[in-house]
Structure 1
Amino acid sequence: MDLTCYTILVPIGLSEQSKIALEQAERLAVLTKGEIVLLGCIENSGGLKNLFIEDDEDYVNDKLELQSRLDLLVSEVSSRTGLKSNAMVTRGKACNKIVEVANLVSANLIVMGTNGAPLSLYEKIIGSKAIQVVSKSSCPVITVKGKKHFNGCRTIILPLDLEKETKQKVKHALTLACLWRATVKVVSVIESGDFRVEPRLRASLIQVQNYLLGRGVKSTIDLINFNGRSLAKTILDFSILHQADLIMIMTQQENNFTQYMIGSAAQSIIHNSTVPVMSIHPEVKIREVYSLP
């Protein structure tokens, strides 16, 4: 993951949470000397008219007003950061348009706010906007829920298991840790008394730690027990205990579907974490053998 002069897409809505996400994006953009793209989306209000008419008067007026607000915000961002930034307004379902624009501008990262678990029946079935974006995006997505965040990143939580794909997070963690001079806490969760898996997990943790230490990144390893908790709750408790500033998770890919499906543990972490969560899609092929360079 090359974080030099790269593009960060930030969806901007009416909520305070999107402004908090923008603050996080600005901090990362300054470190990478990158570019910020603000995206405003006008969702269809329904009806057959909106299916065929793109330039109706209400839409044009709404677009002009939103573009004006975003242009003002662009000026403020550029003034604060000294970096290039611009804004776009689009129309349609927000989660789809965020992913489309991310591809259009070749975004390396999406940073977006989230208000937590879905409340409506529709969102409970389909998933929140954040989950839908994470599931469809080809680039990493950082979701920001909490109100107060450290200006930077001191501690990154890196949950790992024995799956080959999850180790891809190590390279992302390495890049971010170098940028922020952060400590990476590599952690695996295990059932108490699972003596069959424990040696393999511990060996994997040590391998990852040595990889990070060998590249100048501070790292610790922990093998913790569920103690009756879910995987998500165990990771979240660990992040709170160690005052984490970022959790990195790998989403799951269902091979029988054309798009990514997000596992329940990943959804729970995204919805309930009070610190930003970076979600990354697996990139390796199923039969590819993973090894740290």
Structure 2
Amino acid sequence: MKTNRFNRILVPVSLAVESTTAFKQALYFRKKFGAEVTLLHVVQKMGGLSNVFQPSLKNSLQGRGMVRLIRFAKMHFRGRIPDDVNLRVEVGNHVQTIKSIIDSEPFDLVILNRSNRIDGLSERYNSNSVNQIIRESRCPIISVNDRWTGSGIRSILVPVDISRQSRDLVNWSIKLGTVFNAKIKLLAALTVNIELKRSLAYKKTMIMKHLIEREGVKCSVDIVEKENHARNDVLIEGARKTSADILLVQGAQELMFSNSPSEKLLSDFLQSSSRPIFSLAIKDEGLVSSLLMMNSKQVELSERISNRAFKW
């Protein structure tokens, strides 16, 4: 089934073995959505040279980088690169270059690798770099480690942070559940001494489940009860024990303070999960509606969610 929800996908690749997982994940989405994929290879800029030589040096680095990128792409496409796969080489700082492109160009989805190594260069992708890109991204990001959704997406695990608004989380659950015909699994944590059905975790997830199922998407709820435990730890442990093809996790779009428990939850998932993570790192909530081409019924749904479920 082709849709126009993800028309342009950006895939930063290092050309190392670790790039293969993100590349394969991108090809899966390319086939699923009929999307145009841009493979981006960033060459580390060499310092210590006079500015007079910088233009020629940049051209030289770009040229050599493009030769390697073409070789990388042809190897995976058996010699012929499809017309809807674009190759791009930039020279500069890896993280800053990727962030700049995401901010300034209309990509609908970014797929990147969470591995530590970038092509043997001195600069590394580490957890802080990935977090920085995701936190400041203006479009959703799928980050992969050693697994990708090659056999399809049949179940989506959605950890619920009960301290945050979840309007976008519900909307994306409905959209992804519909597109992939996948079941949504809501996961929440109850860490205080209170009857389950009186808890915020229960009330919130039940409302979310009702709204998701009303749109024709299958949904289940699992609330892990562990009194006097850190909520993030309970969610991480619960996620490990729950089977799913991909995780749908809120980003930091409406958080005012960094290093908060809510922001740390995303970081913990990025570090601990071997499964792909779909991160909602959109700063402008209006982008959700435009990107997903929400109709008036779904916009009204968002308002009902905001008014009913998340003013507790």
TM-score interval for Structure 1 and Structure 2 normalised by the shorter chain: 0.7 to 0.9
Stretches of structure 2 that go unaligned for 5 or more consecutive residues are 118-122, 287-301, 307-312
Q: Quick check: 1:16 aligned with 2:29?
A: no
Q: Which moved more, 1:192-201 or 1:36-45?
A: 192-201
Q: Quick check: 1:34 aligned with 2:35?
A: yes
Q: Within 2, Cα distance between the matches of 1:254 and 1:218? A: 29
Q: Quick check: 1:55 aligned with 2:62?
A: no
Q: Quick check: 1:250 aligned with 2:263?
A: no
Q: Quick check: 1:291 aligned with 2:304?
A: yes
* Conservation of the 8 A alpha-carbon contact between 2:6 and 2:109: no
Q: Within 1, Cα distance between the matches of 2:84 and 2:270? A: 29
* Conservation of the 8 A alpha-carbon contact between 1:146 and 1:273: no
Q: Within 2, Cα distance between the matches of 1:80 and 1:184? A: 38
Note the C-alpha offset of 1:290: 5.0
Q: Which residue of 2 aligns with 1:172?
A: 172
Q: Which residue of 2 aligns with 1:270?
A: 270
Q: Which residue of 1 aligns with 2:70?
A: 71
* Conservation of the 8 A alpha-carbon contact between 1:9 and 1:111: yes
Q: Within 1, Cα distance between the matches of 2:40 and 2:262? A: 24
Residues 132-143 of structure 1 aligned to structure 2 (within 5 Å): 132-143=132-143
Change (3 A) 1:262 1:160: closer
Secondary structure (helix, strand or coil) at the match of 2:166 reads: helix
Change (3 A) 1:193 1:147: same
Q: What does the per-residue CA deviation read over 1:92-129, in whole Å, with 9 as the maximum and x for residues that have no partner?
A: 11111112222343111110011269xxxx989x9532
Secondary structure (helix, strand or coil) at the match of 1:16 reads: coil
Q: Which residue of 2 aligns with 1:96?
A: 96
Give the length in aligned residue pairs: 280
TM normalised by structure 1 equals 0.80
Stretches of structure 1 that go unaligned for 5 or more consecutive residues are none
Q: Within 1, Cα distance between the matches of 2:255 and 2:217? A: 33
Note the C-alpha offset of 1:56: 3.3
Q: Which moved more, 1:239-248 or 1:67-76?
A: 67-76
Q: Which moved more, 1:83-92 or 1:232-241?
A: 232-241
Residues 153-172 of structure 1 aligned to structure 2 (within 5 Å): 153-163=153-163, 165-172=165-172
* Conservation of the 8 A alpha-carbon contact between 2:73 and 2:81: no
Change (3 A) 1:47 1:230: farther
Q: Within 1, Cα distance between the matches of 2:43 and 2:165? A: 36
